[in-house]
Amino acid sequence: MAGEPTVLSAGPDAVGVTIYRAPDRDADTAMNLNWLEGYALITETRTVDIPAGGATIRFEGVAGGILPESALVAGLPSGVREKNLDAELLSARNLYARAYGRPVILRRQRGKDGKGTLTEERAVIRSAPDGAAIVQTRDGFEIADCGRGISDALVYTEVPEGLSAKPTLSVRTESTAARRATITLSYLAWGFDWQTNYVVRLNPATGKADVMAWVTLASSDPTSFVDAGTAVVGGKLDREDAREDQQEQDDDLVLHCYLRPQVPAPMVAPPPPPPAPAPVMMMEAADIVVTAQRRADIMQAAPIKVTEEGLGDLKLYRVPIPTTVAANAQKQVAMHELKAVKFKTWHTADLWPSMDGNAVIKLRTRNRKEDGLGVALPGGPVAVFEPHGGDLLLVGQGGMRDYAVDEDVEVTLGTSPQVHVAVTETGSGKNWTDYEAKVSNANPWSLTFEGNVRLGDGEKLERPSTRLTRKFGRPTWTVSVPAEGKATLRYRVTDPN
């Protein structure tokens, strides 16, 4: 309301950041740092001096990607009457867009290498910020900064109304008396994501591995959250957002020396996204041991005991000490440091008729304490190293999904150039075909191979040359292949149709 006082809250006293994984990104797929589609629940505590009567409170320094319709304000004497996300951030692009139709100073440098004459004249911006910069001077319309030995720059005489140097949320409230209030502001914000990165160091001599798990926090938001209580949520939470179909908008101003067939117009704000879900869930706690990292300079602290919490069917992982979630940045904090984990290396392939290719390498274990694990494992990229002489060399990269305690864990590392698999037809008759599957191991050590015999609809496998088991409903051949040796399976496939 006109005449009401405005109270400025320049920043929070304390802040908490809980980051949710991008809903449409698989757990074993690395996040795209140039396009973060996850979101965060931000909870801020602020101290505000509220005057008597009606007033507008401006919360500066909220997340730039705030979803204002999700904002909850608690602690105001009479609640909130109205809330608004105040305009746009001050940037080269928004400054140009808001100056549409307004006078500016056209600063023009003539000559090469900036050694020519410098002139200034008044001009009026007559185009939107996409494409060419059309200005009107006393000599008529022209395109600014289009070469011809001329370098142009636009100088603004004032900041247009509505542009803010910091993202700001404002609310209107009323109070019967002046008072100091402690306010809690909670909201969802777009443009965050997280993932777990695993580094596995295999020891072929013992068949065990040391596993280091890092949580990577990423933010594309212009606001930094300093010394925040930080947590991440594992598992997939379905959430629709209107921003998914929008193209990323850069705050930089890029002008071109050509025209687009469009009518110049001021920028129009995108439509608001749909309402956010209410984050109300029950929690159960269970202790795990992690190593925490406080700063981006990789200064590692001693092992600290933190809590892993159930969040409905999801998992919540708390960073044990305050950490800064910096603007447009990423950082890592240590999560698990596990020693002597029992892993088995398997080579697998699907046995189709006429199959001819290399086997896939997989690491397998069981997520239980007796195998060196027994903790919830959020999905993410995996890098596997082995000692070679005095060096530690990368032997494979892959990914794994989310695994709960007591689940069988499987990590796919890619194909092996040393293990070849071929399936050939050896005979046929009415409604039957004989096949031979052969595995060749060029490694100087023995290995375990697992072949899944693939059958068509109505087909049956008969007369296998060795006993087969069933895995995921398919006949499965598991065999130890000697060093620089081979293994063979013969079987018949019948098709009564």
What is the three-class DSSP state of 486?
Answer: strand
Amino acid identity at 274: P
Q: What is the pLDDT of residues 184-239, one digit of tens each?
A: 999 999 899 998 889 999 887 788 899 998 888 999 988 899 999 999 887 766 65
Over residues 270-279, the mean pLDDT reads 37
Q: What is the dihedral of CA 140, 143, 146, 148, to 10 degrees?
A: -20
Q: Is the pLDDT of residue 132 over 80?
A: no
What span, in angstroms and rounded, lies between the C-alpha atoms of 394 and 416? 14
- For residues 283 and 312, what is the distance between their CA atoms, to the nearest angstrom? 7
**What pLDDT was estimated at residue 312?**
65
pLDDT in tens, 347-401: 999 999 999 999 999 989 999 999 999 888 888 889 999 888 778 888 888 888 8
Calculate mean pLDDT across residues 393-419: 87
pLDDT given for residue 82 in this prediction: 58
Give, in degrees to the nearest 5, the angle at Cα 282 between 279 and 287: 115
221 vs 244, higher pLDDT: 221
Residue environment code for 434-457, b if the CB has 16+ CB neighbours within 10 A, otherwise e: bbebebbbeeeeebebbbbbebee
Residue 123 contacts residue 135 (beta carbons within 8 Å)? yes
Q: What's residue 94's pLDDT?
A: 65
Count Cβ atoms within 10 A of the Cβ of residue 63 and give its class: 0-12 exposed, 13-18 middle, 19 or more buried. Answer: buried
Q: What is the mean predicted confidence (pLDDT) over 178-182?
A: 89
